[in-house]
Structure 1
């Protein structure tokens, strides 16, 4: 029996939740290991050996260590092509290229403004940090432009990379979830017909529902 892979970090982390959603889609056994960042556990020598930037997630598969959520997801889908959702990272070079280009769009265009909004609107208030209104306005304008591109694309295909749910869609779930569920900027998604339809579909996948359950469960 294969040893479960290990994921280090809290489900509330957008990057950790991305990896968890991928593991659940692929039906890969895993062990989630809590890293208490408020106690500095992410800066301990043993942890820095597998995550040199002292962030989350960290990932171990026996002797292999990885630390960037999108790279981890690609690794999981390539190592377990025949488990779970077999088309999550495509089944031929053209599908993979299409998925990769939308993953790049997520990482380069969608993530910067959406991450800024998630922090400023969802996390800063909890941390008693005064929101940066200028940054919020700039980020909202940038994200709106990205979602306008998505709106056109999603009018042409069911999902970003084609007609099947893929890693490209999955990678958007963490930040979009916080913006829709934990801020007053959800209309950025829901007010756009095609983006709203797409968000409704991807956010109701069983894999993501399980991640949200973990986020809402008190830490053990």
Structure 2
């Protein structure tokens, strides 16, 4: 999809995602948008004994809590930084350093919480990788590779170890390999 040409706002894509955003996903007659809905569908459909990411009871509640944290705390802190470094220049603009500085401060506050959590558990929802961890991969990948702020994680050894562990997983590598690597691919 050519993001710069506005294909995401075209009639074909609007049938998949009425908000004209990406991602959108079609599985037979089922049309889904919003990454968490897509992820949950795929995980339910292709759940295996090896990758049991949807568990019952308190574990699922912990996953849900950290999915919400990602949506309401992590992503709002990190996304504007990525936006300023990728999309603003793509439109011919210059990144707003004031916005970036505020968001770096917010990101550090969020990472303080993550650092405390990851000092007790290997992953966000517990000692097992879950959708809560995986939902962080796309935006964190862009933050780490397309902005000059990857070194922020150096102050958070548990967060950095968690991120490196996620990045070493073959499934995460497959997803990352499909993400646009340049503005030409957006």
What is the TM-score with the length of structure 2 in the denominator? 0.89
1:71 is matched with 37
Cα 1:145–1:97 shift into 2, 3 Å: same
State the shift of 1:111 in Å. 0.3
Give yes or no for the alignment of 1:107 onto 2:96.
no
State the shift of 1:174 in Å. 1.2
- Determine the C-alpha separation between the residues in 1 that align with 2:86 and 2:8: 22
State the shift of 1:175 in Å. 1.4
2:11 is matched with 45
- Determine the C-alpha separation between the residues in 2 that align with 1:147 and 1:204: 21
Q: What are the superposed Cα offsets for residues 144-173 of structure 1, whole Å, 9 maximum, x if unpaired? A: 000000000000000000001111111111
Contact conserved, 1:189 with 1:199, CA < 8 A, in 2? Answer: no
Contact conserved, 1:50 with 1:66, CA < 8 A, in 2? Answer: yes
Contact conserved, 2:25 with 2:38, CA < 8 A, in 1? Answer: yes
Is the partner of 2:83 in helix, strand or coil? helix
State the shift of 1:178 in Å. 1.5
Instruction: Give the number of aligned pairs.
Output: 183
2:158 is matched with 194
2:53 is matched with 88
More helix by share: 2
Q: What are the superposed Cα offsets for residues 24-78 of structure 1, whole Å, 9 maximum, x if unpaired? A: xxxxxxxxxxx22333332332321221111111111111101111111112222
1:143 is matched with 107
- Determine the C-alpha separation between the residues in 2 that align with 1:126 and 1:38: 8
Runs ≥4 residues deviating over 2 A? 35-47, 78-84, 121-128, 210-219
Question: Greater CA deviation, 155-164 or 199-208?
Answer: 199-208
State the shift of 1:179 in Å. 1.7
What does 1:14-29 align with in structure 2 at a 5 Å threshold? Answer: none
1:134 is matched with 98
Aligned-pair Cα RMSD in Å: 2.0
What is the TM-score with the length of structure 1 in the denominator? 0.76
- Unaligned ranges ≥5, structure 1: 1-34
Give yes or no for the alignment of 1:205 onto 2:165.
no
Is the partner of 2:125 in helix, strand or coil? coil
1:20 is matched with none
